[in-house]
Amino acid sequence: MDYEKFKSDYVIKNAISMCVLQIGELAGKLTDGFKTSYNEMPWRDIIAIRHRMAHAYENVDLELLWKTALNNIPELKVYCEKIIDKN
């Protein structure tokens, strides 16, 4: 899928938005100790994007959401898998 398809597909936009919201919500529940120990992720930014999407949904930057889904979420997944594998 390319950006134009993403931008025009309401269902896909909403699905990705919900995933980003959930990731941000869960990141907000991580302890400060965890975030300090595993500080290679920008936890504050992850939480902030959730807040922006939840409280200003009509102003969501679709290009930022697209780039987040394409680049940042896969990177976060790999990082979390490494943490799980270590423990």
Query: Cβ(43)–Cβ(35) under 8 Å?
Result: yes
Selected catalytic residue, list 44, 51, 52, 55: 55
Selected catalytic residue, list 44, 50, 51, 52: 50
Range list of H helices, the chain: 3-8, 10-28, 32-37, 43-55, 62-67, 73-86
Determine which of 4-8, 9-13, 54-58 has the lowest per-residue pLDDT on average: 54-58
Domain that holds residue 75: 3-86
pLDDT at 87 > cutoff 90: no
Torsion of CA 23, 24, 29, 35, to 10 degrees: 90
pLDDT in tens, 15-37: 999 999 999 999 999 999 999 99
Query: Cβ(21)–Cβ(53) under 8 Å?
Result: yes
Known active-site residue 50: yes
Provide the domain count of the chain: 1
Known active-site residue 44: no
pLDDT at 57 > cutoff 80: no
- Tell me the residue length of the chain: 87
